[in-house]
Amino acid sequence: MMGETLLKTDKLSVSFGGIHALRETDVEIRLGEIVAIIGSNGAGKSSMMNAISGVIKFSGAIEFKGRTLPKKAHKIVGAGISHVPEGRLIFANLTTMENLRMGAYLRSDARAVAETLEHVLDMFPRLKERENQIAGTLSGGEQQMLAMGRGLMSDPELLLLDEPSLGLAPILVDTIFDIIREIKQMGKTILLVEQNAYKALSVADRAYVLTQGRITLEGPANDVMCNPVVVEAYLGKKTQ
């Protein structure tokens, strides 16, 4: 049901030695929406993603579909969450197709996997053209498409996208965000971390602003986009 809480955090905190990357952050993601997390470098955005996906340790609680989320990464994938990490982290020595199939390694229904693969290749026709190419030789944009396609191969309910436009040419950034809209239309819920605040807010339903590990603003994405502090700090425009 649209609007139903899919994931929420309660006092989620992450520390590295004496450095607090996240400080008691409370975030809610509802079924069928795109939620954007914006903030400067070092604000804690990727730490939040990595905590949810089980990559790093945290304190506080994370609930997914009303239950405490497992803390082991493979169990989190099995529960219905897929993480497309910053920097793509594709398997550079495998082919495009081998990378995609790795995304479905926990699934046992061959027919369902084949259907998902067909959907992914329809969404990313460039990957179809390069299915036998070694992934490390793909362009940056193609590698990002591959990382997103691999993330979708587990058929997740929640897709975590960490800096999907990082390092891409402007025309490819537009393509990636068109694909993000298309993924939402597939019925997926998306948590989006993105340095390009304007693009993130233009595609999101709701947004949170992270400042030095704390949530300092939240609300409908259009409202956040119009907030004077956000305009000046993240959108490159000076308020009057």
Whether the per-residue pLDDT at 238 is higher than 70: the answer is no
- Within the chain, all domains assigned CATH 3.40.50.300 are found at 1-80+156-240
Indicate the CATH number for domain 1-80+156-240. Answer: 3.40.50.300
Strand-pair partners of 161: 84, 192
Q: How many H-runs (helices) and E-runs (strands) does the chain carry? A: 10, 11
Tell me what pLDDT residue 239 has. 40
The beta strands (E) that lie in the chain are given as 5-16, 19-25, 28-30, 34-38, 59-64, 67-68, 81-84, 158-162, 189-193, 206-211, 214-220
Measure the CA–CA gap between 71 and 52, rounded to whole angstroms: 8
Q: What does the pLDDT average to over 17-45?
A: 93
pLDDT at residue number 167? 86
Helix (H) or strand (E) holding 123: helix 110-123
User: Is 197's pLDDT higher than 90?
Assistant: yes
pLDDT of residue 86: 84
Q: What mean pLDDT do residues 134-157 have?
A: 94
Residue % of the chain over a pLDDT of 70: 97
Is residue 131's pLDDT more than 60?
A: yes
